[in-house]
Structure 1
Amino acid sequence: MQSIGTVICTDHSPTTSEFTFVVTSSEVVPVRRGQLVQLETEDGLLLAVVQEVMKTNRFYYHAEAVKELERSGRTLSSIFPCDRWDMLIATAKPLGALKEESFDKITFPPSPGEKVYLADKNVISRFFGFDEENGLEIGFMSHHNVPVKLNMTRLLQKHLAILAMSGSGKSYLATILLEEILSRSRDKGRIFTLVVDVHGEYVVLSQDDSWELAQSVSIVKGSYVQFATPLLTERQLAMFQPEMSPVQVRELNRLLSDVRKAKGDIYSLSDVIFLIEKDEKMNPRTKDALLSWLYELEDTQLFGVEENPYLPEYAKPGRAVVLDLSDILSLRKKQMITAYVLQRLFELRRRGSIPPSFVILEEAHQFCPEAKQELAISKSIIETIAREGRKFYFSLCLISQRPVRLSTSVLSQANTHIILRVTNPNDLKAIELSSEMITRETLSMIADLPVGEALIVGSAVNAPLFIKVRKKKVSLSAYEETMEEAAKRFETDETQ
């Protein structure tokens, strides 16, 4: 292995937190900012990241001398062998040292004169904890061309958050994640995936005939969803009306018992309302309030006798369901549908009736905001899943362009964050508070990320990692067209 440089002394290095090396390689661009290097130390094989690269030449130290020569029509390079004194000085930050079979923190600085090498691909893979055989390949490390394959359990089991400003590639990355999950074979472990799709961006997954896994994706329109009233307890009905009082919930419990005795397991919300209207035992004020709540629920036209679609038939290993809410205008109705589906699937998973499951929740700040429960019907079940889901292998992927508006209790339960470009100071502050692994320096790099690059921090990797997101296999959705392409498509469709 050819060395690229040698550790040198400065007034402040080498230390356990930083060292400097002079680049000795004759290549045109031997090292770049963000690249990983390795060298031997007393602690073992040290892996470090290049934080800055400076180009220097001693002949150009004195600005006045350069200026005077240039004014006289002569140049330094015509008098002195300046090009022979061009030097690259790189500053690197140690990440860890390989001791036997594991990496540990560095406790002793590298020695001046030690040779520096570009990091070996196997060393990089071991350091970050990539799963070479069974991992989900979501991108690659650009300077090293190392595929980023993340272990599915480490990435998903303790929940995931994908955070970025609008147009930075959140949904694109989620689609890649879905591609990787659906392409897993039975011997690698297959799970069920639900996508709560607010804008209809994922519908293309089932329509792309060129993608071999399109048949694994089912689309369920929001207007097609119907809740099975007989499956709902009084507390679950109260979930849709958070302001319902304990007394009203207690009376509802009594009446649900009565309607089950009279109707068995086949009844609708109208049957419950009819029984309340005929009930003479209930306090009139409680009765009026309860009827008011239930009339409001009935007006949504979401409650029926049977569940539609029947979720246990859809939740199968290696399958995905896209819950397309783009045809629902009411935010409250979107929250109700999401709350019912999540509550039902989580209950089925706790009973072991469906496989381990993964929920991709687009626009998560709409469904679990940092607001009162009555302003977000779905917040309660999402918080429950965030707290308890990992015990039952029921995982969340929170996707949001406004982390500051997302419930802090839910976001803090996401042990892995994949962050694309974010520039809003309030959102950056929320991201900083949500993960102890994000430093001020890292925040400034997040604000400068180009589209298609991301930072991964948390349980999925052993250290913060910047990656380039790979290209997805399915066709572009309408939301990924340019404005010019959308305009041309509109006129073409209009003339046909």
Structure 2
Amino acid sequence: QVLGVLNGSGFDRVSYPPSPGQQVYRLEGESLASFLGFNPDGLEIGQLKHYSLPVRLDLTRLFQKHVAILAMSGAGKSFCARTMIEELLKRGPGRGRPAAVLVDVHGEYTDLAEAPEYQGRVTVIRGNKMRIGVPELNGGDFLEFVPDMSEMQARELQQVISELRRRMREGGRPYGLRELMDAIQEAEMNSNTKAALLAWLYNLQSLGIFDSFDDPALESLLSSGSVIILDFKPMVSLRKKQILVSYLVRRLFELRKRECIPPFILFLEEAHQFAPSEDRAISKSAIEMLAREGRKFSASLVVISQRPVRLSTTVLSQAGTNIILRMTNPYDLEHIRRSSEAITSEVAQSISSLPVGEALIVGEAVNFPLFVKIRKPEHLPRGSISFEEASRNYEARESQRFADAQF
């Protein structure tokens, strides 16, 4: 099959075959890289299968229309995301350095902050230390946090919020949920509405994630080339995590629209937890909004999931580039095949037999679907040791502890 004709600026697609008897040459090196759409200044995420050719993906083509990294557990999706983040951190001034925010559900990336070459550029924020500034919230935000709230009740709440904001502008102190509840107590409104609002706000207050100001203040941490890792490992409550992600996404998007922060890439691990396909989730509408509108404001989304069939079809369909590692679940494979025209039944079958660490890249970032060996991250996570090694380490520690106890 003739894919195209190489020219000085790239390639042109053709629909006619070569003439009989024409010589055939093997395309290699820079010509092959150009033909496939690689950029010498791009992110080097691996090596082209069957070629010793680095795969350097153009930053804009990769991130402008969002990315989905999909794989079964243990197939290498977190390594792939980690490699991307390392490549972003390597970019120097003048090369185009977006900021990155990573929602780290299992605490797999936090050790990046300890790498000497990334000192001062990677910040880890513990999820259980994050606080949402109540003065930044309006009635619509609370409507998201409390799905049972009616729009009429949200409007009543907004009137109280507007009055508190007026007092702040006139020199009053920032307010938290306690002050908001006191203001509702004093407000004139239907007694049933008042009781419902107070009950919901009391429930939100019990979560311990609200305060009178944002902590941290994202605009003070995000700079060109910086990475913020939100470590959700200490957190158990999915509701808390969804509320924090919902607020985070909307806050980042609003700051970006006002150009208060640089272009950013949001990496979302376990994306199906925050934007599920069928279940109701507090963070779902915010993530779908970013997927639909983010590219207009240089706000990119990278969703990482082991269960694409459970991931919002709106989010998945907005991913311009899919990086698909090994996946064997037939429902997930069929879901992926339907979401991308470039993935045929034959290609889907190949996905199920991929070795660990190899990926199919398809979409905006490349000119043709490619099988790529993802490179190992330069800084491996602390937990990336074999089962045998973990067992040996434990035995060695126990033996040493027993020996120490004899003296």
Q: Compute the TM-score of the two structures, normalised by the length of structure 2.
A: 0.93
Which letter does structure 2 place at the counterpart of 1:108? Y
Which letter does structure 2 place at the counterpart of 1:131? N
- Structure 1 residue aligned with 2:337: 432
Which letter does structure 2 place at the counterpart of 1:465? L
Instruction: Give the CA deviation at 1:125.
Output: 1.1
Deviation readout 1:258-287 (Å, 9 max, x if unpaired): 3334453511111111122233x2111111
More strand by share: 1
- Structure 1 residue aligned with 2:325: 420
> Is the 2:2–2:18 contact (alpha carbons within 8 Å) kept by the matching residues of 1?
no
Which of the numbers 132, 141, 144 marks the counterpart of 2:48? 141
Q: Is 1:236 the counterpart of 2:141 in the alignment?
A: yes
Instruction: Give the CA deviation at 1:189.
Output: 1.1
Q: Is 1:247 the counterpart of 2:155 in the alignment?
A: no
- Structure 2 residue aligned with 1:487: 391
Which of the numbers 96, 105, 108 marks the counterpart of 2:13? 105
> Is the 2:271–2:311 contact (alpha carbons within 8 Å) kept by the matching residues of 1?
yes
Instruction: Give the CA deviation at 1:484.
Output: 1.6
Distance (whole Å) between structure 1 residues aligned to residue 215 and residue 343 of structure 2: 43
Which of the numbers 51, 75, 91 marks the counterpart of 1:168? 75
Which letter does structure 1 place at the counterpart of 2:4? G
Distance (whole Å) between structure 2 residues aligned to residue 287 and residue 340 of structure 1: 24
Q: Is 1:274 the counterpart of 2:171 in the alignment?
A: no
Distance (whole Å) between structure 1 residues aligned to residue 260 and residue 373 of structure 2: 38
Instruction: Give the CA deviation at 1:290.
Output: 1.2
Distance (whole Å) between structure 1 residues aligned to residue 13 and residue 108 of structure 2: 43
Deviation readout 1:232-254 (Å, 9 max, x if unpaired): 11111222112210111011011
Does the residue aligned with 2:4 lie in a helix, a strand or coil? strand
Does the residue aligned with 1:460 lie in a helix, a strand or coil? coil
> Is the 2:277–2:312 contact (alpha carbons within 8 Å) kept by the matching residues of 1?
yes
Instruction: Give the CA deviation at 1:200.
Output: 0.3
Instruction: Give the CA deviation at 1:454.
Output: 0.7
Greater RCO between the two (CA within 8 Å, min separation 6)? 2
Q: Could you list the runs of 5+ residues in structure 2 that have no partner in the other structure?
A: 402-407
Q: 1:403 to 1:266 in 2, by over 3 A?
A: same
Instruction: Give the CA deviation at 1:305.
Output: 0.9
Deviation readout 1:195-247 (Å, 9 max, x if unpaired): 100000001111234xx224421110011101111111111122211221011
> Is the 1:141–1:468 contact (alpha carbons within 8 Å) kept by the matching residues of 2?
yes
Identity %: 48
Distance (whole Å) between structure 1 residues aligned to residue 283 and residue 395 of structure 2: 40
Greater radius of gyration (CA): 1
- Structure 1 residue aligned with 2:405: none
- Structure 2 residue aligned with 1:194: 101
Instruction: Report matched runs for 1:64-143 at 5 Å.
Output: 93-98=1-6, 101-132=9-40, 134-143=41-50
> Is the 1:230–1:265 contact (alpha carbons within 8 Å) kept by the matching residues of 2?
no
Distance (whole Å) between structure 2 residues aligned to residue 307 and residue 257 of structure 1: 19
Does the residue aligned with 1:291 lie in a helix, a strand or coil? helix
Does the residue aligned with 1:380 lie in a helix, a strand or coil? helix
> Is the 2:104–2:269 contact (alpha carbons within 8 Å) kept by the matching residues of 1?
yes
> Is the 2:143–2:151 contact (alpha carbons within 8 Å) kept by the matching residues of 1?
no
> Is the 1:121–1:144 contact (alpha carbons within 8 Å) kept by the matching residues of 2?
no
Runs of 4+ deviating beyond 6 Å:
none
More helix by share: 2
Q: Is 1:468 the counterpart of 2:373 in the alignment?
A: yes
- Structure 2 residue aligned with 1:81: none
Instruction: Give the CA deviation at 1:340.
Output: 1.5
Distance (whole Å) between structure 2 residues aligned to residue 265 and residue 312 of structure 1: 21
> Is the 1:194–1:320 contact (alpha carbons within 8 Å) kept by the matching residues of 2?
yes
The alignment covers a number of residue pairs equal to: 397
> Is the 2:139–2:157 contact (alpha carbons within 8 Å) kept by the matching residues of 1?
yes
CA RMSD of aligned residues (A): 1.7
- Structure 2 residue aligned with 1:388: 293
Q: Could you list the runs of 5+ residues in structure 1 that have no partner in the other structure?
A: 1-92
